[in-house]
Structure 1
Amino acid sequence: MQTQLIKLVRDIYATNEFIPLHAPVFMGNEQAYLAETIDSTFVSSVGKFVDEFEKKIQDFTHTARAIATVNGTATLHTALYLTGVQAGDLVITQALTFVATCNALYHMGAKPIFIDIEPNAFGLCPNATSLWLSENAMLDDDGQCRHKESGAAIKAIMPMHTFGHPVQLDELLLVCQEWNLVLIEDAAESLGSYYKKHHTGTLGRFGTLSFNGNKVITTGGGGMLLCREQQDGVKAKHVTTTAKAPHAYEFYHDEPGFNYRMPNLNAALGCAQMEQLEVILANKRATAQRYVDFFEKSDYRFVVEPEYAHSNYWLNAIVCPSLDSRNKLLEATNAQGVMTRPVWQLMHRLPMFADALRGNLNNSEWAEARLVNLPSSAIKVS
């Protein structure tokens, strides 16, 4: 299996050189727009490309307002802040996620509650979430959801669309409605993914995108806050711009704010990348199909989009038959210059989150021992 897989990957990318997991692809106006930005001298947080990039993402996702930020973690932090999450509050999320999801909570002084995933798309399981709440939570006289034992307020549910595959949003929204919780979608990996024809990040009150160098498109570093309501977008723009009140020359800041503005240089790169997005997405689906065909009659399950979704296939993934087969695959491919990676270690195994509340994590632990990500870069076309 390992030898045949290495040959397949080398055939896909037509190289005998090192093959990374996910590299950016530049095949449009990136250099031209960067040069234009430098020539304009507006390289920081003021410039035309910031507004253009926000508008491009807003139009593509059909959200009410999109606000550019310096990175995905800053975007998560902003979403939590605008939701009203405070120190000591609890937020439900999944243990199988990238650490940024939980880092944003940590820096709010809030704490995660880790709930299990469902074993197909590897996102937060609505049934497991509902069960944990029914056993461990209550609504107080004001309708606030609280942890029965500690009395701490539970403010939100924050699922992640793992590898770009959408979670079961309708079911999670019903749980939010029952328990008076806000849904924040960590859509960092899912630009170009759709849940029942709705772009990910647009059904919750907030959604967050990342444009790190390893994402579907990149701005070098950057993020975007998707706001379902226009007034949330106005507020987000204000607080991420140091909460500075508009004035011709005076500096007056009317509340605590963040300096989370995306620089114009990064936005210029993003505008050029957005012009190629449809090509990149089609390219990535074609690569995913080659993996589907390769693994079809094997003991390894290729992770495909859920039946209710259209996924971007950000990171292609397989489920190995066992931990031993996973480790052998990782060792053989990486030794031959084909980068593969296991899924992230579960968050409750990390020292800073070891004491977090959690439910039964059987599916998460099963996936942790078997998931492997395969090279997933788009292929540059002329």
Structure 2
Amino acid sequence: MGNKSIGLSIPNIEVEPILNNLKECLESGWISTGGRFIPEFEGKVAKYVGVKEAVGVQSGTAGLHVALRVLGVKKDEEVLVPTLTFIAAVNPVTYLGAEPVFIDCDKSFCIDPIKLEEFCAKECEIREDYLYNKKTNRIIRAVVVVHVFGNMADMERIIEIARKYKLKVLEDATEGLGTKYTEGKYVGKYAGTMGDMGVFSFNANKIITTGGGGMIVSSNDELLQKARFLSVQAKTDPLYFIHDEIGYNYRMLNLQAALGTDQIDRLESFIETKIKNFNRYKEAIDNIEGLTLVPFNDGIRANHWFYSVLVEKEKYGLNKDELLRKLVDCNIQTRPIWGLIHEQKPFVNNEAYKMETSIYYHERILNIPCSSNLSEEDVDMVIEKLKEFKQNV
């Protein structure tokens, strides 16, 4: 039992139906950027999140890149981004020659609407219908909102702020597929569907996977069709290969979609298991002094993609890095939160506004196993070790 390896977030794949789909791809010759599974998967995702249409792409990063371009981000402009996120939420800003400006997080790990509004009000001004950064004299075109670990950012506040300050809203819902509001202005709305555009990811560690792959959604059909056009090399005339713009080879593969059509059908059962396991962890961790299983926001049904434990050394006796090493030595895969993006080498000279909460969490948060096929025995094994490693302080 002690030698069993428990992964952090591993794919939950039912082999038989996927093998049948892949066999069809191989036998028909449709293995690349054409074939029936792509529109089928796009249609299923669109229906699930309640939008008319979705555009499949090769990764969440590709989706973010295309979406930022469609939203009008240009060279020498700025985009407001969180620092507590995976770097893929920020890198695409630079692909377009724009500069990220980093905003702190709140207790949800998501971008802090209070600091977002404060930055816009105090550090910027509206001129000629655009928001300008007074320090750099650059136009700030958009804000990227990441639904971190499947929690929901405060979209009511953020969209209000964005409209007031002339900002486009791109929702990075790469971790948030299935998270939705259960109350408030956006009741019933899913993460990714409230901003101007939203992007999902189907990377191997996400709640559903296609190996790689991503999806762009928008309620604005014009923006969505522009994204589709750019993702297939911007072919104005596909028969005669006429290209009036620079496009990208970002189309989702039929092989990826062949996995996705089955995975999306199982999403609700995955979320159900994740919630059950989260609650099992919580009941036990509530009784371990110095550890807190960080809750998801009220007013939402979160997908519970990742579970975050706050480690307080003063009470637990170990810091998060010491606990991480002990768990890894027991073949229990855990990971720290990402390195804060404003501290990464490519971005150290970019503006970072009032960093406090993100630094606090970076020093104390550990992600523990959360796969949708995690057994109760696995959860109990992790809990047992968390209890065992507590020091007398």
With structure 1 as the length reference, what TM-score do the two structures score?
A: 0.93
CA contact 1:25–1:380 (8 Å) conserved in 2: no
2:382 corresponding residue in structure 1: none
AA in 2 matched with 1:297: N
Cα-to-partner distance string for 1:311-350 (whole Å, 9 max, x where unaligned): 1111111111149421221111011100111100101111
What amino acid does structure 2 have at the position aligned with 1:367? Answer: Y
Give the equivalent residue in structure 2 for 1:288: 278
1:379 equivalent to 2:373? Answer yes
Q: Is structure 2 residue 223 aligned with structure 1 residue 244?
A: no
2:328 paired with 1:334: yes
Whole-angstrom distance in 2 between the partners of 1:69 and 1:36? 21
SS at match of 2:319: helix
Superposition deviation, residue 183 in structure 1:
0.7
1:96 corresponds to which letter in structure 2? Answer: L
Residue 53 (structure 1) aligns with: 41
Query: Is 2:265 the counterpart of 1:265?
Result: no
SS in 2 for 1:208: strand
What amino acid does structure 1 have at the position aligned with 2:7?
Answer: P
Contact 1:68 1:222 (C-alpha < 8 Å) held by counterparts? yes
**1:54-203 aligned within 5 A:** 54-119=42-107, 121-140=108-127, 142-195=128-181, 196-203=187-194
Letter in 2 for 1:260: Y
1:218 aligns with 2:209: yes
Which residue number in structure 1 is paired with residue 356 of structure 2? 362
Q: Give the Å deviation of 1:363.
A: 0.3
Secondary structure of the residue aligned to 1:245 is strand
Do the aligned residues in 1 keep the contact of 2:71 with 2:223 (CA within 8 Å)?
no
Q: Secondary structure at the match of 1:199?
A: coil
What is the Cα deviation at residue 16 of structure 1? 4.2
The answer to which of 94-103 and 295-304 deviates more is 295-304
Q: Show structure 2 runs of 5+ residues with no match.
A: 182-186, 376-393
Deviation at 1:46, TM superposition (A): 0.6
Secondary structure of the residue that 1:314 maps to in structure 2? coil
Distance across 2 between alignment mates of 1:269 and 1:32 = 10
Alignment of 1:342-361 (within 5 A): 342-361=336-355
Aligned equivalent of 1:320:
311
- Structure 1 residues 334-369: Cα deviation after superposition (integer angstroms, max 9, x where no partner): 111001111001011111010111111110100000
Q: Secondary structure at the match of 1:207?
A: strand
Amino acid at match of 2:245: E
Shift of 1:64: 3.2
Matched position secondary structure for 1:231: helix
Cα distance in structure 2, aligned partners of 1:41 and 1:370? 50
RCO higher in structure (CA 8 A, sep ≥6) = 1
Cα offset for 1:54?
A: 0.4
The root-mean-square deviation of aligned C-alpha atoms, in Å, is 1.5
SS at match of 2:146: coil
In structure 2, the partner of 1:6 is none
Q: Percent identity?
A: 30
Instruction: State the Cα distance separating 1:275 from its structure 2 match.
Output: 1.9
Return the offset for 1:187: 0.5
Whether 2:25 is the aligned partner of 1:37: answer: yes
Between the aligned partners of 1:17 and 1:29, the Cα distance in structure 2 is 28
Runs of 4+ deviating beyond 2 Å: 322-325
- Kept in 2: contact 1:184–1:206 (CA 8 A): yes
For the 8 Å contact 1:197–1:309, the answer to whether it is kept is no
Partner AA of 1:201 in structure 2: G
- Using structure 2 for the length normalisation, give the TM-score: 0.90
Amino acid at match of 1:55: G
Which residue of structure 1 aligns with residue 291 of structure 2? 300
Q: Give the aligned partner of residue 207 of structure 1.
A: 198
- C-alpha displacement of 1:297: 2.4
In the alignment, the residues of structure 2 paired with residue 82 and residue 267 of structure 1 have an alpha-carbon distance, to the nearest angstrom, of: 24
Q: Aligned partner of 1:275: which letter?
A: D
Q: Tell me the distance in 2 between the aligned counterparts of 1:183 and 1:16.
A: 47
What is the CA-CA distance between 1:246 and the residue it aligns to? 4.3
Question: How far apart in 2 are the matches of 1:373 and 1:380?
Answer: 14
Amino acid at match of 2:180: Y
Amino acid paired to 2:177: L
Secondary structure of 2:30 counterpart:
coil
C-alpha separation in 1, matches of 2:35 and 2:142: 34
Which runs of no fewer than 5 residues in structure 1 stay unpaired? 1-9
Task: Return the alpha-carbon distance in structure 2 between the equivalents of residues 149 and 244 of structure 1.
Answer: 40
